[in-house]
A and B are shown apart, each in its own frame.
Chain A
Amino acid sequence: MTGVLTLYRTSVGKKVIMAVTGFILVGFVVFHMYGNLKMYQGPEVFNAYAAGLRELGYPVFGHEHLLWLARVILLVSVVLHIWSATMLTMQSQKNTFANGVSGMRRYGEKKRQTGYAAYTMRFGGIVIFLFIIYHLLHLTFGVVGYGPGEFKHPHGGEYEVYSNVVIGFQNPLISAFYLFTMVFLGFHLYHGVWSMFQTLGLNSAIYTRLLRGLAVLIALAVVIGNISFPIAVMAGIVGPAA
C-alpha cells in the first residue's frame, strides 16, 4: 500500500499511470481500427460485427458483459490519463515559468534539437479528447451530423452501422475533422508508444530501435486504417447498401 502512495506522490509515479492507461488506450485504437476494416466487406459483415461486439467472449461472458467491462476500463483509463497529464503539465508549467510565459517560450530564442511529435502531445491530447466526445455524439448516439431520420438507432438486436457510417462520412466537413484529428493521433501514438516503454523502464540501448520501430508501425497502421474510412466513403468505394 505504501508503494502505491510512492507512485502517487512522485512525478515518475504519475507517469507510470500515464503509461499504463496509455497502453490500454493504444490497445483499444488498434482493435477499433482493425474491427472497422470490416466495412470493406459490405453491410452484412459490418453490421454483424457491431452485433457481435455484444456477444464478445460468448459463451464465457454473457450478453454485453465483456463489452461493458471494456467500456468501464476504457473510461477509467481516459480519466486517469487526462488526470495525470494535467497534474504533470501543471508541475512543468510552474517550473518553467519565466518572463510571463512557460515551456520553450521562456527563452528569447530556443532551437528544437529533437523530433516534432513529442511537442504535440498536450495540444494533440486535447484535440483527441474533443474528437472522442464528437465521435461518440456522431456515430454512437447520432445526435450530431445527421439530418432528421438519417441515423438509424439499433432496434431489436439489428444494427445498421454501415449505413450510419456511409451517411455520416458523406459530409465533407465532418470527414475533414476526422482526418485532421488522425494527424494528431499519429503523432500521439508515435511518441506515446515508445514513451510508455521508456516510462515503465522497459527501454534500453538494446531495445530502443525496436521500440521506435514498433511505435512507427502502430502509428502508421492506425492512421492509415482510420483515414481510409472517410476517404473510401467520399470516393464512393464504400457506398450505400444496394
Chain B
Amino acid sequence: MKLTLKVWRQKNGKTPGEFKTYQAEHISPDMSFLEMLDVVNQDLITKGEEPIAFDHDCREGICGMCSLMINGVAHGPKQAITTCQLHMRSFNDGDTITIEPWRALPFPIIKDLVVDRSSFDRIIQAGGYISVSTGSAPDANTIPVPKPDADKSMDAAACIGCGACVAACPNGSAMLFVAAKAAHLSFLPQGQVERYQRAVNMVMQQDLEGFGNCTNIGECSAVCPKEISMDTIARLNRDLIVAALKGIEPAAQPAEARAG
C-alpha cells in the first residue's frame, strides 16, 4: 500500500505547529496503524529527520496510551477499538490520512501527536477511589453484589482513560470519563460510602482543570473504544443533584489544576 499522511508536527507546547505531508510506502494491509507510523519513522530516521512523536504502550487496546485523531475521528474509522487495534486494511491504497493530536486545553501538546493527560489523574485523585482500612484480606463473597450491578460496574470499569471522549467532544468535556470512573464504584457496595462526595469532587475537579461541559451530544460514546454508555453520565448527574440536596460541598482542597 502507498499512502499520503498529513501529520500534525509541533516541536513543543510553546511553538505553533503545522501539518506536514509524508509519503508512506511499502505498507502492508496487515500492519496496525502504529506499525505503519513505525515504518514511516524509520524512514525519517534514515533520512536524518526528526521522527513523528506519538503515544503508545501495550499495543493491544488495554492501556489507553494511543491517542490519534485519524481522518477526523478519534481512534480512527472503526468502532470500539483503539488506534493500535486499527489495521491498515481499513484504508485503501492511495488514501490520504490526516493525523492530529487530541485537542483540549487540559490536554496540552508535549510534542507532535503526544499530549499530557495528567489532568485525568488529578480527577481520579479528587474522588475516583474508595477508602478502606487495610488488613488481612476479607473472605470472598462476604459482600453480595447482584449480577446486573456487577455487570454495569464492569462495563464502566472498562474505561481505559485514553481521552478520546474529550477529543471528540465539540465542548471538550470529560464527562464520559468522569462518569465512568464514578459509576464503576457507585454500582458496588464498597463505593456507596463516598458516593455523593465523590460525584461533587470529581465534577468540581473536572471544571477546575478547564474541561468543557456536557451538552449530551453523544460524540464521546460514539468514539469510545470501550463503548462506555451515556447512561453513566445521567447517573453522575443524578448523584450530583442528590449531593446538592444533601448539602454536600466540594472537598476543601482540590488537587492542583495545572492547566490555565
Contacts and interface: CB of A to CB of B under 8 A. Distances in A.
Given A12-B237, A15-B213, A201-B237, A94 B105 contact: yes
A115 B170 CA distance: 13
Instruction: Assign chain A's interface to a size class.
Output: 35 or more
Contacts of A198: 216, 230, 233-234, 237
B175 to A, nearest CB: 8
B214 interface: yes
A128 interface: no
Nearest to A6: B244
Contacts of A114: 217-219, 222
A3 B250 CA distance: 10
A118 B218 contact: yes
Given A10-B207, A201-B239, A91 B231 contact: no
A92 B241 contact: no
Nearest to A5: B249
B225 to A, nearest CB: 13
Contacts of A13: 240, 244
B173 interface: yes
Interface residues of B, number: 56
A216 B204 CA distance: 33
Given A4-B244, A114-B219, A11 B250 contact: no
A95 B171 contact: yes
Given A88-B213, A107-B72, A113-B168, A204 B234 contact: yes
A156 interface: no
Contact of A96 (B103, B215, B240): B103
A13 B54 CA distance: 37
B34 interface: no
A6 B250 contact: yes
B216 A92 contact: no
Contacts of A96: 103-105, 169-172, 212
A201 B235 contact: yes
Contacts of B241: 7, 12, 16, 200-201
Contact of A10 (B105, B233, B240): B240
Given A11-B206, A114-B219, A119-B217, A202 B234 contact: yes
B187 to A, nearest CB: 12
B73 to A, nearest CB: 5
A204 B155 CA distance: 14
B112 interface: no
A199 B245 CA distance: 15
B48 interface: no
A154 B154 CA distance: 64
A59 interface: no
B156 interface: no
B223 interface: yes
Interface of A: 1-7, 9-16, 88, 91-98, 103-104, 106-115, 118-119, 121, 191, 194-195, 197-205, 208
Interface of B: 6, 8, 19, 69, 71-73, 98, 100, 103-106, 168-173, 200, 203-204, 206-207, 210-219, 222-223, 229-231, 233-241, 243-250
24 contacts: A6-B200, A6-B240, A6-B248, A6-B249, A10-B204, A11-B206, A12-B203, A12-B236, A88-B213, A88-B215, A92-B171, A103-B171, A107-B100, A111-B72, A112-B219, A113-B222, A114-B218, A118-B215, A121-B215, A194-B216, A200-B238, A201-B235, A205-B229, A208-B230
